[in-house]
Chains A and B, each alone.
Chain A
Amino acid sequence: MLEIDEGQVRQSEAAYPQHAASIALTINGESCQLQVDARTTLLDALRDRLHLTGTKKGCGLGQCGACTVLVDGRRVVSCLTLAVMNQGKSITTIEGIGDGELHPLQKAFVEHDGFQCGYCTPGQIMSAIGLIQEGRTRSDDEIRENMSGNLCRCGAYTNIVKAIKDALVQGVDAPEAMRQAVEAIRQDAEKGE
C-alpha cells in the first residue's frame, strides 16, 4: 500500500465535508483508498495528497503536458481530470516505471541529455511510453508531432527525439513490456475491488 498521511486525510475531510468523496485507485500497481475534495484534480491528488511529486504541474490548464500520466495505459494530462473521475482506474506515474532500476527511456534521456532543468521530463517520458505503446513512433516526424503536447521551455526537443529513437533501437520491447505492465496493473485492480 502507498503511504497515506492519515492525519492529513482526516483533516481535509473535516474541512470540507460537503465536497468530500472517497475513491479507490490503483497507483503504480498498488491499490489505495483516498478521501478527496470532489474538486481535486488527479494531478493535485498525486502531488499534494500522495506526495508523488514526480508528476509535475506546469499550467493546470492542459496546455503543457508536464502532468502526463498513464490512466489504464492511455496518456492523460492529469490536471484535466478530477481525482473522483478516476475511481477504480489504474494510474502509472513516473515513479512507477523503473522497476528498481532506470526504465530504458529514462536511461536514454540521461544519455542523450533530453532535458536541462528536468521539470518537463517526467511528462515527456510518460508521453513517450504512451507513444511507443500506441506504435506512433514510426518516423522522426511522427514522434515530433505526437510529442508536441509536451512543452520543453529549455528546448531539449532534438535530444528528446534522439532519446526516444534510441530507446526503440535498443530493442526495448516497450510496447510489449508496457502491455504486460498495464495488464498486471488491471488484474491487481480487479483483485483489489
Chain B
Amino acid sequence: MNAPLTPSVGQPVSRVDGPLKVTGHARYAAEFDIPDMLHAALVLSTVPNGTIAAIDDEAARRAPGVHAVITHENAPRLPYRRMSQRPQVDAQSGDQLQVFQGPKIHFNGQPVAVVVAETLEQATHAASLVNVAYEEDEAFTRFELDRGQRPSSGNEKAGRPAETQMGDADAAFAAAPVKVDATYIQPREHHNAIEPHATIALWDGDFLTLYDKTQWVDNDRKEIAHVFGIHEDAIRVVSPFVGGAFGSALRTWPHVTVAALAAKVVRRPVRVELTRRELYTSVGFRPHTEQRVALGAERDGTLTAIIQEAWTQISDYEEYAEVTLDPARNTYACPNVRTRYRLVEMNTNSPCPMRGPGVATGLLAHETAMDELAVALGMDPIALRLKNYAEKDQHKDLPWSSKELRECYRIGAERFGWAGRNPEPRSMRADGQLVGYGMATAAYPAHRSKASAEATLFSNGTALIRTAASDMGPGTYTSMTQVAADALGLPLEAVRFELGDTDMPFAPVHGGSITLASVGTAVEAACRALLDDLSHVIGADLSGPFAGLSADDLEWRDGGAVRRGGGEMVPFEKLLRELKLDKIVGHGTSAPGQESKTYSSCAFGAVFAEVRVDPDLGTVRVHRVIGAYDIGRVVNPKTAHSQCIGGMVGAIGMALLEQAEWDERFGRVMNSNLAEYLVPVCADIRELDAFFVESEDRIFNPLGVKGVAELGICGVAPAIGNAVYHATGRRIRDFPILPDKLL
C-alpha cells in the first residue's frame, strides 16, 4: 500500500515540463517538422503614410526557389468578417490591419508583400529584390498632446473612460495645504520575448492547421475563421509551448493571416517566422504615455485630491486603450478624484497589452507622485500610504474580496530593513556610491473567466487532464498538475496535463493573470465530476467494496478510494479493472459568479528597492529589490517566486533601460534589435526576493488564488525611481532613468 500523500498544492514543486525545456525537446511554434514546408519572408513598407503606387516583383519571382510573391495586386480577397463581439484582446474600436487587401499604408513597417520560397535564404534574398514605389501622404509621427482625442464609446464601455470625477478634485487641490503637480513620461516599450512570433500554416483540403505562438488558441482559431470566412471547425490551432510573450501573443496579428494565405496560394505548408527587427512593427508594444499627476493633502498626510491625466499613442486604424487611470481611482482612499484620458493618433502599428497593461504605467506615475508628496510632507512613504489605506475599492464602491496589503508593507519593510533608511536624500553611501532606498505599492486587479477542462482516469491508475489553456512561462503545466493531483488523490507523477490545442476543452485567454483562478477551478471541477461519476458506478456495484455508498461517503486519496471515517483504500487500478472500465472521464466548467458584482478582487504588494548611484557617472545599479505580495493562496511557491522576480527584472528594464528610439522623420523605431533596445542582462541583476503573506481568497474563487504575473512588474519601476531620488536628490520623471539625466 502506498504511503499517504501530502497535498502538492502549496509545495515548491519543480516544473513538470522542466526536463523537456532543459533538454531542448519542448517544441515551440516554428519547430514543428512539417514535410514539404516552404519558407516566407516579408517585405515591409518604408514610408509611414501613403499608398503603394507600384510594385516591381519581377526579379523576385525569377529568383531561384521562389514559389510565389504575394502582394495586394494578386492576393485573394479575404472576407475579414466582423465578429459579433470583439474579443477583449483586440482594440475595442477601429479595424484590424488587413494584409494585402489594398494599397493603403498606415505605418512604416507594414507588410506589403510576402515571398514564399523553398528555403529561408532564398525567400529572404528574393524579398530584397522586391521594389515598391509609394505615393506619400503627410504623416503624423510626432506625439502631440494637443491632438489627443477622447476614447470612443467602445473603449468607454470597456472601462477606459475619457473623464471620471468623484467629489470636486480641482477645488480640493486648489485648497490643499500641501500639494505636488508634475508630468511623467513612459516611453514606447517592446515585449521582446526571446522566442520570435512564428506561424506554420498547413491546409489539408479545406481544413487549416496552424502551429502558432499564441496565448489563446481558441481565439486565434476564431479570428482566422473570421478573416477567411470559414467555419471554426475547419481550423485547428496547436501551441504547446510559448517562449515568453508578456502580452504580445494575446491577439492574432497579421502575420498569422499571411502564413495561412500564403499556404493557400502555394498549396504547400508555409512558415512565417518574424525576424527580431520585424517584431517591432508586426506585433504590438506598450504605448508611449505621458501623465500629469496632481495630489493634494492635509498636513497630516490625508489625501484630499487626486488628479491624474494620461495621453497615450494609438495607430490611425485602431483604437487600443488601456486602464492607465484605474490606479488613480482605487489605490488610495480619497474623496476627490478626477481623471482624464486622451488618445493621440499616429502613423504607427497598434500598441497592445504588455505585462501589467495600463496599471504598471498608471502606477509608475502615481507611485512616483506619492513619493514626491511624502517628501513635501516630510513624511515616511509607508506611513503616507497607510494613512490613506483604501479599505474598499472606492471607485467601484465595493468591498475587497481580500486585502492583506498592510501585512505586505510590514513584512516587506522588515525583510528589506527599511528602518535603517535615513530619509534625507544623498545621506547614505557605500563603497563610494550614493545609496538610495525607495518603495512603492503594487496592485493588479484579479479577474476570472469562464473555463473548462476534461479529466480522464485510466485503468492503470494514471490521469490525463486537458484544456486549451497556455503556458508562456508562469508554470501552467505544473500548477494544473498539482491541482489535479490533489483533487484526484494521486501522486504528481501519475497526472499528465496537456494544453495549447483547440481540440481540447475551451479555455480563456492566458493573460491578465487569470489562468490559475479560471482554468485551475475548471480543472478541479473536471476532477470532481469524474470522481462523482466514479462514486456512482462503484456505489451501484453491489458486489464491490463500496456498494450502496454515495460520493459523500467516500474520500479519494493515496491513489484510490477510501470509505470516509476509515477503512481500506482500494486503488483506482483495482476499482476500474473490476468494473471492466478502461477509463472514466469527467468534464468541468467554472465561471465567476455573483461575487464579481458584489466584491472587488485584487492582488497586492509592497516593493522595496535599493540602488547604488555613481556620483560622478550617474550610473544606477539596482542593488536589491524585495517584494512582499498578497496573491491569495500560493499553489506553487517556487514558480510564483520566479514570476515575481521575473517581473522585477522586467521593471528594472522599465526604470533604467528600455525605450524604443523613435525617428520622427520616418515614423520608425531605430533601435529595433536586442543590442540597441536595452533589456536587463545577467550582470544587471543582483539580489531579488519575493515573500508571500498569509492570504487566501475563497470569495474570489474556490481555489483561493488571485494571480501573480502582472502584479510582479507593478510598482517596481517607481520604487527604483524613488530610490534614485533618495540616493541623489534628483527626481527623474522621464523614464528610463539614463545616466545623462542624473548628471
Contacts and interface: CB of A to CB of B under 8 A. Distances in A.
A35 B610 CA distance: 55
B649 interface: yes
16 contacts: A39-B125, A40-B119, A40-B121, A47-B30, A53-B30, A66-B194, A106-B22, A110-B14, A113-B15, A115-B18, A117-B243, A118-B243, A147-B682, A149-B681, A151-B194, A153-B191
A57 B615 CA distance: 40
Interface of B: 14-15, 17-28, 30-31, 33, 64-65, 118-122, 125, 191-196, 241-246, 273, 275-276, 472-475, 638-639, 641-643, 645-650, 673-675, 679-685, 687-688
Interface string A113-151: 101111111100100000000000000010111011111
A55 B24 contact: yes
Interface residues of A toward B: which range? 35 or more
B685 A118 contact: no
Given A60-B275, A144-B685, 14 more contacts: A11-B118, A15-B122, A16-B118, A37-B122, A52-B24, A56-B28, A58-B194, A58-B196, A60-B276, A115-B21, A116-B475, A120-B243, A154-B649, A155-B685
Which 4 residue pairs spanning A and B have beta carbons closest together? A54-B24, A155-B649, A119-B243, A118-B21
A153 B674 CA distance: 11
Contacts of A116: 244, 473-475, 639, 642-643, 646
A8 to B, nearest CB: 8
A106 B27 contact: no
Contacts of A157: 649, 680-682, 685
Given A15-B64, A16-B122, A53-B24, A120 B682 contact: no
Contacts of A47: 30-31
Contacts of A12: 118-119
Given A57-B30, A94-B24, A102-B23, A154 B646 contact: yes
B682 A58 contact: no
Contacts of A51: 33
A70 interface: no
B680 to A, nearest CB: 7
A117 B642 contact: no
Contacts of A150: 682
A4 interface: no
Given A59-B674, A119-B28, A119-B193, A16 B65 contact: yes
A173 interface: no
Given A16-B64, A119-B244, A145-B683, A154 B473 contact: yes
Contacts of B31: 47, 53
Nearest to A105: B22
Given A54-B25, A116-B473, A61 B674 contact: yes
A39 B39 CA distance: 15
B675 A95 contact: no
Contacts, number: 203
The DSSP consensus for interface residues of chain A is loop
Contact of B639 (A58, A109, A113, A144): A113
A109 B28 CA distance: 19
A177 B492 CA distance: 33
Contacts of B19: 102, 106, 110
A180 interface: no
Contacts of A109: 18, 22
B121 A102 contact: no
A16 B119 contact: yes
A54 B688 contact: no
B276 A59 contact: yes
B679 A151 contact: yes
B682 A63 contact: no
A117 B119 contact: no
B8 to A, nearest CB: 16
B24 A113 contact: no
A48 B120 contact: yes
A48 B245 CA distance: 23
Most chain A CB within a 10 A radius of its CB, from B22, B193, B650: B22
A58 B679 CA distance: 14
A156 B246 CA distance: 14
B24 A156 contact: no
Contacts of A31: none
B275 A15 contact: no
A51 B24 CA distance: 11
- Which of B125, B245, B246, B685 counts the most chain A CB atoms within 10 A? B685
B246 A153 contact: yes
A102 B22 contact: yes
A18 B125 CA distance: 14
